[in-house]
Amino acid sequence: MPVNILMPALSPTMEKGNLARWLKKEGDAVKAGDVIAEIETDKATMEYESIDDGVLAKIVVPEGTQDVPVNQLIAVLAAEGEDAKAAAASAGKTAPAKEKTPEPAKPAAATPAAAQPSTAPQASAPAAAHGANRVFASPLARRLAKDAGVDVARIQGSGPHGRIIARDVEAAKSGKGLAPSAGATAGTSLSVQAPSDDKIRALFEPGSFDVIPHDNMRKVIARRLIEAKLTIPHFYLTLDCNIGKLLAAREEINAAAPKDKDGKPAYKISVNDFVIKALALALQRVPNANVTWTEGGMLKHKHSDIGVAVSIPGGLITPIVRHAETKSLSVISNEMKDYAGRARAKKLKPEEYQGGSSAVSNLGMYGIKDFAAVINPPHATILAVGVGEERPIVKDGKIEAAWIMSVTLSTDHRAVDGALGAEMLGAFKNLIENPVMMVV
């Protein structure tokens, strides 16, 4: 039986992708595990592996095609011993004889810049996210749900990245794995309609502007910011930290770093590395703030997995320092350098930037004194860090200069209220002002 190869969901936030390159051509033999294509998401270029043996009978979506929806047919594979021409003729039929859920892909090997197509992938709502615009389900699962009279949007998926597959529909028939219907859930659904493009453009003189199409990363950032601000009640707490001791410790640590034969130090600690470590330890000291809100209950995290916003062309990405509370400053520093480099090359794996329990956004290097960051779901907190600068302070009735850094904690007020957030931010201040406490 022919196998319909569908555009895979390479991450929970992927809705569309770009088919960057086919690594096999029509008529080529394919073994399970062979990389047959490279697919670009908004954050990475991933290798797509076949999960069947056979012959690539027909390529439906040519390489270089942009914005291919998840689950769209992209190729047909003839099974071993099957007529490839007959399999190719089946392309596009609504009821394929065999359906395969794609395996999660791997980051693609580096490709010369000139060979990279100019494409713009899009990611969107999480797979099977109730209340979102798109539900990720296999075609077979959708047919079974329709036949059974089950709303596919209420089914909890157990496939790769939460995709709904046939067994989930079977379980849903008996009431298992079903979320409450929209009318049964508490709260009010919010819907905001922005002005149309035509209405906005009509406000400006024709020819007075150029239209620069959004790439898909910018579309994803816009959508997630709207979701975060509409669905998360933000609460903000700001305080100043005296980082004089931190700067002295940083200078001493970096001066003592061992060097290789070329004189390159083994590490170079930044202020941000101290911030990551201090936030991780603060969440351990105030564990009730190390949480994620869900409608069914609070997720209380055992470890401090800290996301760190990294600016990349066209937007940003937030790689996660896992178990940051257990790692030394030098390990955190080198890990972040690796993440930042691979993030800018779009080589991060999905598990390296998804999840986490809190995050850091640092604009101090741009001279920003203070700001309030938008929470990145599923986090309940995010720490915005401003520039460290000399400011006048009053000490023992006298004015003197001190190195001060302002930080603002944004909290999800459903999960972390004002007093709890203040306690956690106080723990952070104590650690960042006394960095020796980070190593005891």
Estimate the share of the chain in helix, then strand, then coil, as percent rounded to the nearest 5: 30, 25, 45
Helix boundaries (H) for 51-201? 84-89, 139-148, 166-173, 197-201
Q: Which two tokens stand for residue 386?
A: 């401003």
Q: Judge whether 413 counts as a catalytic residue.
A: yes
Q: Which of 130, 234, 303, 413 is catalytic?
A: 413
Sheet holding 98-99, edge to edge: 29-30, 54-59, 73-79, 3-6, 98-99
| CA dist., res. 405 & res. 74, Å (int) | 52
Dihedral sign for Cα atoms in the order 242, 248, 253, 255 = positive
Dihedral sign for Cα atoms in the order 40, 42, 45, 46 = negative
Burial 348-373 (b: 16+ CB within 10 A, else e): bbbebbbbbbbbbbbbbeeeeebeeb
Q: Which two tokens stand for residue 243?
A: 């980082």
Q: How many CB atoms lie within 10 A of CB 189?
A: 7
The amino acid at residue 254 is N
Q: Which two tokens stand for residue 122?
A: 């899009």
**Locus of tokens 């067994």:** 167
The catalytic site residues sit at: 413
